[in-house]
Structure formats: structure tokens, C-alpha cells
Structure 1
Amino acid sequence: MPAVAADSVASVATTTTTTNTAADLPSSLEEFGLSKYEAHAYLTMLGRGSLAASDLAYYANLPRTKVYQTVKKLEKKRLAVVSKQKPLICSAIPPEEAFGEIVGLHERRVKNMKRIVERLQKLSDEGQRPKGSEERRYFILDADSALPKVGSLLAGARSSIAATLDAWGLRLASQCKPHLVKAVTSGARIRFIIDPRCVGSESLSFLPDGIELRMATADAIIQSNLIMVDAAHMVSIDPSNGKAALFAALDAYGTLQAKVFEEAWARAAELKQVLEAQPAVASKALELARAVDNGLASHMLEYAVNNEDPSSSDLLDVIEKKYGLKLAGMGAGDLLDLVDSALKISCQGVGGSVRHDRGNNIISLRADGGRHVLPWAVVVASYFRRAGNEPRIMMQSRSSPQLAHVRLARPIA
């Protein structure tokens, strides 16, 4: 019994749903422009097939006086076919055929309306854009496409190439050597500012002659690679994944980057003295320059406060333990060459030098560019004190550039 009752309920529910759906159809057809009579007549013909006018009036519940006028309107709307002979036989045209044209018309209208809305939105967006502004575009290149594109831009350079490069960017530039050679041959001025951590990199040796190289200051670590070609193209390369952003024109952003480059170039250190040294020596010289500029000055101040000689030989132990630079085991000539290179790096290539007067047993150190020469003199004095050759530091007061002399007790062996 419960099963029968459940089946009955399901049957009633299905019948109710079907009835409700059928009841909605006449009103739904009104959206296609059919009147109430036309909708009932069309649905009746679909459900019962071809009917005489009188039968159609009966089954569709239409007034007899309205049935003829109704089927003629359906015929005019291409929804029905009416025979020419009496008794009149009315037949419905299949829905897909009857309403296909109407649906297509509405779809075209909707598309047109969407296009109109898009144009209106564009007009609205332009109205919201700041006056005098213009839209610029850039292209994203994957890692595989970046190298050939950069090479093509470099080879096509006619006036200038300016770039800031970290280790990854320097390696990419070295892979573009043939393109750089072509740019140099075309007369383009090529300037690279490299990250200080690139000193000693083998990639430097693969760069062609004719490129001006400078090293960024220690406080200007390069975080991304930027290449500007002929003030017309700019490429920004992410070293973490090799992807690049290509700007087809230098707009306000590019002009700002060009200005930043020129300011960085003016502050950057010449790399001539570094390139002339062996990679291992150049790298060690850079580390020594950092140690002296960043930490040893405060260490010397601590000695001065405690009334101790800051040039004592244990300064070499501090340099070795704190910075990993072993100077005590070097030969005197190698040590002076190392200090000379490091001092040049510290002074950004201008005015830094170490000279040895063998006849008078005097080592002269010169520092320009606002750098203090005393810390360097202390490093040299500490080395020779450890070697048993007692030094004496003499400062040339109020000199510009700064000068210091280290007089040794005996000649260097």
C-alpha cells in the first residue's frame, strides 16, 4: 500500500509539472509577438496535427467568428499553412523552422546591443582617463625567446646601448658577443654597469673590446637587468626566471630609467684595473675593498679608544676571521698589488694607488674621491709588522688627495 501511494503521488506530481509547463506556453509565445488566440491555435495544431477551421475553433477554445482571422495571421507570420479549398485545413509549421528566423533576428539584435554597450563603455573609460594621457603597451617574452630577441636588438643598435647587469644578465650579454661586435662595428657606444658581485666572473672575459665597463657602488646592488637600445627600446629581464618585458618605445618610464642609469654611471667605479687583474685577484681585491670601507674603520677606532696601535699585526687575524681574507701568507709584492687594486676599486678608479720607493724603503698610498687613506696604510703596516719589518705611518696632513707613507725598517726582500 505505501508503495502504491508513493507511485500515485509521483504520477500526480509529474502530471502537475507537465500541465504547468503546458499552461505556460501560451504566455511564453506572446514573447514572439503572438496574441492569446494565435498562441492557443498554434499549440493546438502542434498537438493534434492538421485540423479543419471548425475543429480548430473547438479544440483551441476559440470563438468561431475569430478562427479564420487567427489562422490567416498565423499564416502571414509563417507559423501555419492554410489550404486554399474549403473546408479550410490548417497545419502548423514545425517550431524550429517557424521560429528560427525570429530567434536569429533576436540574436543579431543582442550582438548589436553588446557592441553598442562596449562602445559606450570605451567612451566612458576614455572619459575617466586623465587628460593628456596615452596608453602604452609592452610584451612579455618567455626565457627561450628573451635571448634571441635581446641579441637582435643589440645587433641592430646604431647609436647606444646602456645596461645594468647582475651575474645572470652579464652571462646573457656574454652569449650575445657576436651581436655586440656588430653594434661596436656600427659605431654604437656601449656602456655596462655590472653588479659588484660580478667582479672575477669569467663572463667578463667573453665580452668584446670596445665596451665601457663600470661597477656599481657597494650600496647599489643590482636587483634586475635593464637594457636600453638607441633610446628606442628597453628590455627588463627577471634573473629568477629569465622572463623579459620588452618596451617598444621609451615613454616617461623609460626616460626615467635612462636618467637613473646616467646617475648610476657617474657614481660607478672604473673596471679597467679589475679587468687587468686575474679573476681570483680581482675578486679578492673587491672583498678587501669592502672590508676596509665597511668594517675595519670601526675596528681601528676601537684600538684608538683603548690606546692601542691600530696597525698591530693581529689586524690580519681580524681580516682573516671576519672576512675570510688571508693576507699574512702572501708575498710582499703580491700584497702591494692586491692593495693597489683594492684601493683603486674603493676610490672608484680615480686617484687610488700604491707606490713603492725601494731606495728609501717607503710605500706611498694615495686616495681620492673623498676616501680616507689611513685605513689602507694601517693594513699595509699590519702586514709588514707581522713579517718582522717594523713600519712607521706618516700622514701628509691637509692634502687633497689624501696621502700616507709607510716607512719600513729595512728593504723588502
Structure 2
Amino acid sequence: MVKGQDLAVSLEEFGLSKYEAQAYVTLITKGTISASELAYYSNLPRTKVYPILLKLEKKKIAIISKSKPIMCTAIAPEDAFDEIIHDQINHVNAMNNLITKLKRLSEDSKKARGSEEKRYFHLAPNYVFKQFQSMIGGSKTSIHAIVDSWGLNLLSQCKDTLIHQLRKNIDIKIVLPANLVGTETFRELPVGVKLKTSDISQNVIIFDDSEILMINSNNGKGAIFLSTDVLGTNQVKTFDQVWKGAIKIGNLVDMTKSDAQETLKAIQLISENGLGFVLNSILNSKNKGIDLLTFLEKNGLDLKSKTLAEIISLVDSTLDMTCSGHLHYDANGNHFVIESKVNSGHSIPWALLLEGYLNRNGIKTKMIYNDHQHTGEKIHIKVDSKININ
């Protein structure tokens, strides 16, 4: 009975009324029966049975006898609905043709206006990691990423895949926020990945400069699109600009989080306020001394407790990160040498920091600055006594 009711409801999709559908299903199940029996089995009002039978006959899905009592028989479904099915098929085909024409009209109008529709591949949160790992493994030339904590966590889980790609000389560059430097997930990144830090925080990963994966860290959803799209082209350019202006942090991988964060804070203070402090000191200090050490300590860096070796390590790290420079002590000449590959004066604050530390510890110094326009700059800090660096 339930199946019969379901079929009757479905028949309404073919244009039959509720009563017509009930009557036809009853005739199919009972065979040839009288009009009164049809009313009984199909729960139809007796007064409506004959008009319903006439409608079924007109639709060519039932036959009514001319004699009394009136007998009625259903026409087999494959014959009864063949014409209706073909009408439905023709109707659907006509609708498809209409949609095709409308779509073509829409595309033509967009091209005329200089616009074009693009489709993006959206990823549910539970598919993002699998797709991410697959795209890393499938990259041929490069993987360039700007990530936040969410993206860094995904990258750390792909360590083996990243190592495999590094062995194939894939260029892997990652930019991440400063607060993630020195964390456990940061140290999970394999050796060989080029690392920099910047204030920008998002999850954009560019593969081979052709495909881009964006991940929303709020809900874990992702989207993939081509770099040839307007959005993609902008993302590639944005990464290049961010990478150029970011601070390299590869030498912080082996540091503790506190040491790494201290180094970054020193760079931030010098970059944002160091030049102003130096100029102010030159203009206002009676002895013309520049106490950069005190400036950094007042801004939260604990330098008093550090040994000379730790100060040297700090200065050497910051030089490498800010101007591709380095610091070493020449025991034979009894002087420190700071070298930088750029001649923009970026190494001077770090030389002043080292000099300030030495002076505070009773070591007299003399600084000599050499500017080589094409090869960078070099600073010598001569000291009046032998230095024991331990």
C-alpha cells in the first residue's frame, strides 16, 4: 500500500492529478475491475470515479468498456507513458539548449566588456592537508609560501616531502611572522629551506609560479587557482616584494626561542628607532659618545648579563640577517672586523653595540670605517688589550 501511494505521488510528476494517479496505480495492481471496485480500492469518491476514468482514457492510459457495469483496464506503463516520456525528454533538451544559448550570450557580453569568468577549486577543511602535501610533492621548480601558525603547522607535517623536494633542488622559500621563529614547528622545517620573516601573516603557497593554494586559518578551508588569473598574478608579485623586503632568519634555526626572539627584537629596535637615537646622541651628547647598548637595554633587551662571546654571536647573527655581513676577531692584529656586502651603513649600529659593550667592560677601542662602493663596507674596531673570547 505504501509503495502504491509513493508511485501515485511520483505519477503526479507526469501531469496526472492526485485522483488520476491513485486510480491508475489501482488499475495496474488489480487488473480489469468495475468502476465501483475502483472507487473502493483506490479510496476515491464514487461521484468522481467516472469523470476520472474519462480523463485517463483521454490521456490514453486506461480503457473503459461501453457496456454496463462499466469495466476499466490500465494500459501497460511502457505504452501508456511512452509519449509523455518523449515529451519530457524534448522539454529537457529544449531547456538545455536554452541554457547553452544564455551561457554563450553571457560569455560574449563579458568578453565585450573586457571581463572573463574564472572558476576556482574549493577545498573542504578535511581535504586541505592531503591536497597540500600532494601539491608539494608534485612541484617541479619552486615552492614559495607566506604562512601563519596554521600554515607553518601544515608545512612541518610535510617535512619528509619537503626533504625529498630539496634533494631535487626545488627552490623552497618560506616567509613567516616573527613570533613563530624559534618555535617547535619552526625547527621542524628541514635544512635547505630558505627562511625569512615579515609582518605579513596569511597562508598563500605558490607552486612553480603556476598554481596557488590559499588557506583560511579561521576555518581551515582552501582554494586553488592559477597564477595566470589576476588574483594569481598579484599574489606572485606580492610574494616577490615581501621576500625582497623580509629579514632572512636561516641562522636562527638552531637557536632557542628566547635567543631567536631577542635577536629579532634587537633588529626591530635598531631598524625602527636606531638611526634616530644615533643622530640624537651625536647632536646632544657632550662627549659625542653613542651608547647604543643602553638604548637597547631600556627597550627590554637584557645585555648586561651577556658574555662577550654571546654579544659577538648576537652581532654576527644580526649582521648576517640585515646586510649579509659577519663579525670576526683577528687575534694577531688585536681587532674586530665587521664586513658587510652592502655599503648602506647597516653595519654601523652593530659595530656601535659591540664597541659599547667593550667600553663598558673597561676595554678602550678605536673604530675605523671603510666604505667600498662596489664591494660593501668594512669596520675595524681596534682594542687596547688582548681579548679572551670564551
TM-score (normalised: structure 2): 0.68
Cα deviations by residue, 1:368-412 (Å, 9 ceiling, x for unpaired): 333433222221222222223233333335665233333334333
Structure 2 residue corresponding to 1:251, chosen from 228, 245, 250: 228
Q: Distance in 1 between matches of 2:174 and 2:161?
A: 18
Q: Distance in 1 between matches of 2:314 and 2:58?
A: 103
Match of 2:211?
233
Match of 1:321?
298
Q: Name the SS for the 2:363 alignment partner.
A: coil
Q: Which amino acid aligns with 2:331?
A: R
Cα–Cα, structure 1 residues 366 and 182, in superposed 2: closer, same or farther, change >3 Å?
A: closer
Match of 1:190?
171
Q: Name the SS for the 1:376 alignment partner.
A: helix
Q: Name the SS for the 2:271 alignment partner.
A: helix
Match of 1:341?
317
Cα–Cα, structure 1 residues 395 and 49, in superposed 2: closer, same or farther, change >3 Å?
A: closer
Cα deviations by residue, 1:290-335 (Å, 9 ceiling, x for unpaired): 221221210111111214456455x43331232x211121111110
Q: Distance in 2 between matches of 1:383 and 1:48?
A: 108
Match of 2:4?
none
2:368 maps to 1:394:
yes
Q: CA deviation at 1:256?
A: 4.5
Cα deviations by residue, 1:330-384 (Å, 9 ceiling, x for unpaired): 111110111110111111xx2x111223344422223333343322222122222
2:136 maps to 1:136:
no
Q: Distance in 2 between matches of 1:279 and 1:344?
A: 18
2:266 maps to 1:284:
no
Q: What aligned pairs does 1:97-176 form with structure 2 within 5 A after superposition?
A: 108=88, 115=96, 117-131=98-112, 135-176=117-158
Structure 2 residue corresponding to 1:357, chosen from 304, 317, 330: 330
Match of 2:385?
410
Residues 270 and 349 in structure 2, CA contact (< 8 A), matched pair in contact too: yes
Residues 328 and 386 in structure 1, CA contact (< 8 A), matched pair in contact too: no
Q: Distance in 2 between matches of 1:354 and 1:48?
A: 104
Q: Which amino acid aligns with 1:340?
A: D
Q: CA deviation at 1:267?
A: 5.0
Q: Name the SS for the 1:130 alignment partner.
A: helix
How many residues matched? 332
Residues 175 and 243 in structure 2, CA contact (< 8 A), matched pair in contact too: no
Match of 1:377?
351
Cα–Cα, structure 1 residues 238 and 321, in superposed 2: closer, same or farther, change >3 Å?
A: farther
Q: Distance in 2 between matches of 1:205 and 1:377?
A: 29
Residues 310 and 378 in structure 1, CA contact (< 8 A), matched pair in contact too: no
Query: How many percent identity over aligned positions?
Result: 26
Residues 396 and 403 in structure 1, CA contact (< 8 A), matched pair in contact too: yes
Residues 369 and 378 in structure 2, CA contact (< 8 A), matched pair in contact too: yes
Aligned alpha-carbon RMSD (Å): 4.3
Q: CA deviation at 1:235?
A: 0.9
Q: Distance in 2 between matches of 1:238 and 1:48?
A: 62
Match of 2:15?
none
Q: Distance in 2 between matches of 1:83 and 1:409?
A: 128
Q: Which amino acid aligns with 2:347?
A: V
Unmatched segments (≥5 aa) in structure 1: 1-45, 51-71, 91-99
Cα–Cα, structure 1 residues 83 and 222, in superposed 2: closer, same or farther, change >3 Å?
A: closer
Match of 1:37?
none
Q: Distance in 2 between matches of 1:190 and 1:143?
A: 27
Match of 1:273?
251
Q: Name the SS for the 1:355 alignment partner.
A: strand
Residues 364 and 384 in structure 2, CA contact (< 8 A), matched pair in contact too: yes
Q: Distance in 2 between matches of 1:333 and 1:163?
A: 35
Match of 1:212?
193
Residues 394 and 404 in structure 1, CA contact (< 8 A), matched pair in contact too: yes
Q: Which amino acid aligns with 1:334?
A: E
Q: Distance in 2 between matches of 1:357 and 1:48?
A: 113
Residues 107 and 116 in structure 2, CA contact (< 8 A), matched pair in contact too: no
Q: In terms of Rg, which structure is larger?
A: 1
Q: Distance in 2 between matches of 1:200 and 1:311?
A: 35
Q: Distance in 1 between matches of 2:101 and 2:273?
A: 64
Q: Name the SS for the 2:277 alignment partner.
A: helix
Q: Distance in 2 between matches of 1:203 and 1:319?
A: 29
Q: CA deviation at 1:153?
A: 1.9
Unmatched segments (≥5 aa) in structure 2: 1-45, 71-79
Q: CA deviation at 1:176?
A: 0.6
Q: Distance in 2 between matches of 1:145 and 1:49?
A: 58
TM-score (normalised: structure 1): 0.65
Cα–Cα, structure 1 residues 89 and 290, in superposed 2: closer, same or farther, change >3 Å?
A: same
